């Protein structure tokens, strides 16, 4: 408990925005030059930011995590004061001294970055607006309450899609290895679907493997799902899941990140991301995990926060089940076993139906995730290949035998589908991926008889 | 008295004429060889001494000095034995030759003359030097006769050689060995059956994608890597290659025969028409792979010249050896340099490599039996350095096919059918551009591809989507060029590029991007 928010922007440190206007609105319209159009004297740019904006700017600086953020805001009383202190000569030294008083040390490089970052705050806010990424600070009323309760609450979340789903009454994380068995993919998709059917928001990490299957399973059950990124929104990782991410947002879910949009994927970002996955959810379900899977880190975070943890057991000598089996053994009593989807729903206490249908109706037809719609915008050769892959992973031989297409055409089609993120291939075997992951059947072709313009 | 005969030694794949001078003079009995002789040659003294004594001649008890000229060319091997013995016989006046002779052959202690490697290039060098007649070991007669423009006599013993020089041997005790002037036209052994004892493509079931990649690779002379679990048929597929490549033409056959002559353990019987297939083990040393060693011997890269170099378990090969393959892949030859001398060996080979996707071999297998910790498979595949990766055009997965997946599948094409397509496609490339696509680079490649605006945009998009380097983008276009040639298309179209994108290295594809860090 780092005391983030105790001296927060909407508490003691309320400072009215300079210029009287809504600073955020000004920034949104994209006026990066401090003096542009106002005829006012040029002030240090940080003073033009509201306290909420200062938080966003501060949290977006590379190297500032929840701990440093908390220390800085506590030391100076508000985010704006941090930025003001960082400005000008001697700024870095002031910051370092203040952080040192909190018992932390600050990387000198980081201290020198804060001032310029404050000056460029307007550009950051414009960039967020341009990308349609909504920042959500820990002081905002819409900030997910479960996330406020954890250690290392992210001071700011960057959100595309509907932030309200983060705070749904029922939220479950489904995570697992990036290298699952086909059975693991099916299980993840099924659990995602069942949880979505009982009205739970399904949270996962958008990674390939179990994560992707869990998202896809929820989408196919017309459910709501949330992807937590380990990078920024402009560097969606893995890029093969771009279509899946778009589908998640389009169907009323959300894609969120702790890092600003232009943060690139870096290995360190992913374990940190896992704490948010665990923190958003009432319970975390691990489907398949190897001995050192990141999913176990997620489960560890969940248990530390006193959240429920479930694991799907597996055969003793299957590498993808070693982590799950060990989790169950070493946390007997805390981690629970998934004996079946009905049992999981019962153990989660979700057996009583929830009034969720209403919400979906208001969103109308467009939110119906529909594999048929995805297939309909593909060409006929692509559709033939996708339809064949509905029966399960296949080699190029099987596709040549199972469609009336020429071999060279099939190989070209596979490239196009892979680019769309709808098919993934590894060493000669191809399977549906992304938004088509776990789909078992598609209704008759939706393509109008005359073809689409 | 001073005697002098002509012989030859090997320098790389070339023969170098050597003049052997023997001075048999009064003085303390002794036998010295001077003129940069190697260890095998210094031992010639003992062989020559035994052969003389056991052939009914006398080893003169006088001071014998043998000089090998030119003095600054290193001489190696036992091919000079016969010449040294004859020079001593002439020098000690036991034999009086009629005319001038060149002699090649190794001696046994009993006086027998044994075949040596490299007879063909050495005889060719003597012919170039203007020698009219050469004596060769009887076992190498067929090989020596491949060289036009020189009279060749095969002998089985030192005594026969002496008789030949004395002019006594016509119709002698080994009739029929004497050859007339060989016509300039090369005698050709019956063309080998190109399929020979190699498996036929028809025996390989399934593996459509890999077979297709193989066909493209052979048609355009592109490097190929087969990636798949153990038992998926990678080695089987690779071993069909000699039967799928068109046979060597006359010029190529001559080159291949010279190499076979120098590196072979037996004399060559006729022109080599079959393309070599070399499969060195992954423990092969640097010198074994690219050539070198104390005698600057050709390596596997040269033995595979005009044929196939198959590297099974590619990531297990010594890294510096693999890097050394970059030069032959670019230039079609290797340069082996030592202080003061360098040899260039031809090494234009079809590179085919096979590898498991990870150390245990089962990464991404549907059974999920891969036991490698996370990240290990990626690191394993990353062992192939970027520069080498960029020089191998095609990478293809070879899945393990369960027997039930083969039920009802159509019969596979035979090697003969594919060979016809490969041959036609090669002829098309040579007709249009005077070279095979595997060698297209830079401007020549751009001209050959003739991308229209739409195709060019597509090539860039395909490359961008996985963050390819410029070299990798060239590779994509190069492969697409061959796909277009197989389809008889003059321009590279979008569809060709899209198929070419299938054959990216596993470190570059979508799957690789998707599997990176976390």
Q: How high is the pLDDT of residue B249?
A: 84
CB contact at 8 A, B432 and B461: no
- Rounded Cα distance between A112 and B59, Å, is 93
Residue in A181, A292, A425 nearest the CB of B374:
A292
Final residue of a domain: which of B145, B166, B187?
Answer: B166
Q: Does A323 touch chain B (CB under 8 A)?
A: no
Number of domains in chain B: 3
For chain A, list residues with pLDDT below 70.
1-47, 353-370, 438-453
Say if B191 falls within a structural domain.
Answer: no
In total, the C-beta contacts within 8 angstroms joining chain A to chain B are: 152
Residue in B207, B496, B515 nearest the CB of A397:
B207
Q: How high is the pLDDT of residue B421?
A: 94
- Rounded Cα distance between B32 and B66, Å, is 6
CB contact at 8 A, A256 and A290: no
User: Rounded mean pLDDT of chain B?
Assistant: 83
Residue B107, domain CATH: 3.30.230.10
**CA distance to A193, A281, A309, A337, per residue, from A347 (Å):** 17, 15, 11, 10
CB within 8 Å: A428 and B498: no
Question: What's this model's pTM, rounded to 2 decimal places?
Answer: 0.68
What's the N-to-C CA distance of chain B in angstroms?
85
- Rounded Cα distance between B262 and B272, Å, is 13
Both B388 and B246 in one domain: the answer is: yes
Q: Which residue has the tokens 């087969």?
A: B226
Final residue of a domain: which of B371, B401, B429?
Answer: B429
Three-state SS at B119: helix
Residue in B487, B502, B517 nearest the CB of A267:
B517
Stretch B268-275: mean pLDDT: 81
- Rounded Cα distance between A391 and A434, Å, is 16
Q: What ipTM is given for this predicted complex?
A: 0.79
CB within 8 Å: A395 and B208: yes
Residue in B373, B405, B510 nearest the CB of A292:
B373
Beta strand B350-355 with B224-227 is: parallel
Q: How high is the pLDDT of residue A438?
A: 66
Q: What is the nearest CA distance from B348 to chain A, expressed in angstroms?
A: 28
Both B352 and B275 in one domain: the answer is: yes
Query: In chain A, whose CA is at the least distance from the CA of B463?
Result: A419
Q: What is the nearest CA distance from A150 to chain B, expressed in angstroms?
A: 23
Q: Which residue has the tokens 């990140």?
A: A257
CB contact at 8 A, A441 and A390: yes
pLDDT for A290-345, tens place per residue?
888 889 999 999 999 899 999 999 999 888 899 999 999 999 888 999 998 888 99
Q: Does A242 touch chain B (CB under 8 A)?
A: no
Both B277 and B305 in one domain: the answer is: yes
CB within 8 Å: A266 and B517: yes
Chain B hits for A240, Cβ within 8 Å: 510-511, 513-514
Query: In chain B, whose CA is at the least distance from the CA of A206?
Result: B514
CB within 8 Å: B364 and A429: yes
Q: H or E element: which one contains A273?
A: helix A269-280
Domain assignment of residue B26, given as a range: 2-166
The token pair at B288 is 């074994």
CB within 8 Å: B398 and A418: no
Chain B hits for A408, Cβ within 8 Å: 212, 483, 487, 495, 499
Both B420 and B461 in one domain: the answer is: no
Both B424 and B445 in one domain: the answer is: no
Mind listing the domains of chain A with CATH numbers? Answer: 23-131 (no CATH), 156-363 (3.40.50.450), 371-436 (1.10.10.10)
Question: Hey, which bits of B70-200 come out as E strands?
Answer: 102-103, 106-107, 113-114, 133-137, 151-155
* Residue bearing the bigger pLDDT, A38 or B232: B232
Residue B364, domain CATH: 3.40.50.300
Residue in A239, A397, A419 nearest the CB of B206:
A397
CB contact at 8 A, B75 and B42: no
Beta strand A283-286 with A171-175 is: parallel
Both B453 and B423 in one domain: the answer is: no
Chain B hits for A427, Cβ within 8 Å: 227-229, 357, 363-364, 397-399, 506
User: Exposed/middle/buried for B411, CB within 10 Å: 0-12, 13-18, 19+?
Assistant: exposed
Both B331 and B399 in one domain: the answer is: yes
B399, B406, B489: which to substitute to probe chain A, counting the most A Cβ within 10 Å?
B399
Three-state SS at B344: strand
Q: What is the nearest CA distance from B507 to chain A, expressed in angstroms?
A: 11
Q: How high is the pLDDT of residue B407?
A: 66
Number of C-beta neighbours around residue B518 at 10 A: 24
- Rounded Cα distance between B499 and B495, Å, is 6
CA-wise closest residue to A15 among A56, A57, A48: A48
Q: Distance from CA of residue B471 to its chain's centroid?
A: 27
Highest mean pLDDT among A272-286, B85-99, B311-325 belongs to A272-286
Residue in B368, B398, B501 nearest the CB of A415:
B501
Q: Which residue has the tokens 């896809």?
A: A216
Final residue of a domain: which of B429, B464, B487?
Answer: B429
Say if B171 falls within a structural domain.
Answer: no
| Integer-rounded Cα radius of gyration of chain A | 24
Chain B hits for A396, Cβ within 8 Å: 208-209, 212
Say if B187 falls within a structural domain.
Answer: no
Phi, psi dihedral angles at B274 (to 5 degrees):
-90, 140
Both B328 and B413 in one domain: the answer is: yes
Both B455 and B412 in one domain: the answer is: no
Query: In chain A, whose CA is at the least distance from the CA of B226?
Result: A427
pLDDT for B388-428, tens place per residue?
888 899 999 998 887 777 666 667 888 889 999 999 999 99
Both B151 and B265 in one domain: the answer is: no
Both B483 and B402 in one domain: the answer is: no
B206, B207, B209: which to substitute to probe chain A, counting the most A Cβ within 10 Å?
B209
Say if B288 falls within a structural domain.
Answer: yes
């Amino acid at each position: 408990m780092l005391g983030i928010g105790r001296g927060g922007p909407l508490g003691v440190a309320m400072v009215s925005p300079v210029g009287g206007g809504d600073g955020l609105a000004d920034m949104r319209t994209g006026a990066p030059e401090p003096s542009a159009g106002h005829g006012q004297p040029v002030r240090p740019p940080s003073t033009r930011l509201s306290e909420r904006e200062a938080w966003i700017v501060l949290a977006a600086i590379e190297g500032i995590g929840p701990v440093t953020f908390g220390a800085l805001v506590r030391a100076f009383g508000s985010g704006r004061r941090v930025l003001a202190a960082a400005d000008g000569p001697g700024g870095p030294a002031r910051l370092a001294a203040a952080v040192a008083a909190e018992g932390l040390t600050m990387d000198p490089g980081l201290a020198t970055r804060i001032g310029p970052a404050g000056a460029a705050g307007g550009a950051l806010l414009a960039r967020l607006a341009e990308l349609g990424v909504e920042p959500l600070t820990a002081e905002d009323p819409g900030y997910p309450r479960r996330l406020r309760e954890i250690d290392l609450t992210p001071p700011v979340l960057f959100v595309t899609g509907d932030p309200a789903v983060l705070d749904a009454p029922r939220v479950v994380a489904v995570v697992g290895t990036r290298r699952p068995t086909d059975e693991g993919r099916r299980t993840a998709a099924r659990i995602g679907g069942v949880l979505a059917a009982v009205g739970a928001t399904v949270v996962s990490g958008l990674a390939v493997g179990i994560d992707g299957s869990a998202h896809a399973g929820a989408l196919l059950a017309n459910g709501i799902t949330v992807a937590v990124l380990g990078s920024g929104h402009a560097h969606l990782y893995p890029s093969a899941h771009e279509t899946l991410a778009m589908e998640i947002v389009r169907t009323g879910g959300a894609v969120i990140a702790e890092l600003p949009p232009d943060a690139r994927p870096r290995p360190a970002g992913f374990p940190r991301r896992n704490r948010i996955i665990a923190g958003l959810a009432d319970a975390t379900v691990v489907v398949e995990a190897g001995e050192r899977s990141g999913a176990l880190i997620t489960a560890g975070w969940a248990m530390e926060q006193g959240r429920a943890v479930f694991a799907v057991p597996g055969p003793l000598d299957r590498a993808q089940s070693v982590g799950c089996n060990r989790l169950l053994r070493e946390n007997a009593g805390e981690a629970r076993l998934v004996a079946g989807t009905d049992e999981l729903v019962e153990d989660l206490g979700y057996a009583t139906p929830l009034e969720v249908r209403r919400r979906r109706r208001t969103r109308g037809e467009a939110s119906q995730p529909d594999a048929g719609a995805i297939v309909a915008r593909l060409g006929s050769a692509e559709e033939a290949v996708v339809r064949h892959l509905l029966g399960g992973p296949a080699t190029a031989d099987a596709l040549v035998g199972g469609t009336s297409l020429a071999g060279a055409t099939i190989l070209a089609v596979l490239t196009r589908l892979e680019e769309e993120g709808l098919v993934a291939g590894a060493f000669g075997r191809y399977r549906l991926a992304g938004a088509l992951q776990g789909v078992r059947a598609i209704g008759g072709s939706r393509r109008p008889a005359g073809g689409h313009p | 008295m001073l005697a002098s005969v002509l012989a030859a030694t090997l320098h790389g794949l070339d023969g170098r004429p050597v003049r052997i001078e023997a001075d048999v003079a009064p003085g303390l009995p002794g036998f010295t060889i001077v003129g940069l002789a190697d260890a095998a040659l210094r031992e010639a003294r003992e062989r020559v001494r035994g052969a003389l004594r056991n052939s009914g001649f006398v080893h003169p008890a006088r001071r014998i000095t043998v000089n090998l000229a030119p003095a600054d060319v290193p001489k190696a091997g036992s091919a000079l034995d016969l010449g040294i013995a004859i020079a001593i016989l002439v020098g000690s006046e036991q034999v009086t030759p009629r005319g001038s002779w060149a002699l090649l052959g190794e001696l046994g202690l009993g006086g027998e003359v044994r075949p040596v490697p490299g007879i063909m290039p050495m005889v060719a060098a003597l012919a170039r030097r203007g020698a009219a007649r050469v004596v060769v070991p009887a076992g190498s007669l067929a090989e020596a006769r491949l060289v036009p423009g020189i009279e060749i006599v095969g002998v089985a013993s030192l005594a026969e050689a002496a008789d030949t020089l004395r002019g006594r041997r016509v119709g002698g005790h080994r009739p029929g060995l004497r050859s007339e002037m060989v016509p300039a036209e090369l005698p050709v052994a019956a063309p080998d059956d190109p399929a020979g004892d190699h498996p036929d493509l028809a025996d390989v079931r399934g593996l459509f994608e890999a077979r297709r990649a193989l066909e493209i690779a052979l048609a355009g002379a592109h490097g190929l890597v087969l990636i798949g679990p153990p038992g998926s048929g990678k080695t089987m597929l690779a071993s069909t290659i000699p039967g799928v490549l068109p046979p060597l033409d006359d010029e190529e056959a001559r080159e291949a025969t010279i190499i076979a002559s120098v590196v072979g353990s037996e004399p060559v019987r006729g022109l080599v028409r079959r393309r070599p297939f070399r499969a060195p083990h992954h423990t092969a040393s640097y010198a074994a792979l690219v050539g070198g060693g104390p005698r600057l011997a050709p390596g596997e890269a040269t033995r595979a010249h005009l044929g196939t170099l198959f590297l099974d378990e590619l990531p297990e090969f010594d890294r510096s050896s693999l890097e050394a393959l970059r030069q032959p892949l670019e230039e079609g030859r290797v340069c082996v340099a030592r202080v003061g001398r360098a040899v260039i060996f031809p090494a234009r080979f079809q590179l085919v490599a096979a590898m498991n996707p990870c150390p245990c071999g089962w990464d991404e297998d549907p059974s999920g039996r891969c036991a490698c910790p996370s990240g290990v498979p990626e690191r394993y595949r990353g062992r192939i350095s970027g520069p080498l990766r960029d020089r191998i055009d095609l990478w293809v997965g070879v899945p393990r096919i369960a027997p039930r997946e083969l039920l009802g599948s159509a019969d596979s094409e035979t090697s003969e059918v594919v060979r016809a397509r490969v041959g036609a496609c090669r002829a098309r490339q040579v007709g249009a551009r005077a070279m095979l696509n595997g060698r297209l680079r830079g401007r020549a490649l751009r001209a050959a591809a003739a991308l229209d605006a739409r195709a060019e945009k597509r090539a860039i998009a395909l490359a961008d989507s996985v963050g390819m380097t410029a070299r990798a983008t060239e590779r994509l276009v190069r492969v697409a060029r061959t796909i277009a040639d197989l389809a008889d298309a003059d321009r590279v179209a979008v569809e060709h590029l899209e198929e070419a994108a299938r054959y990216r290295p596993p470190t570059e594809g979508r799957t690789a991007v998707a599997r990176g860090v976390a």
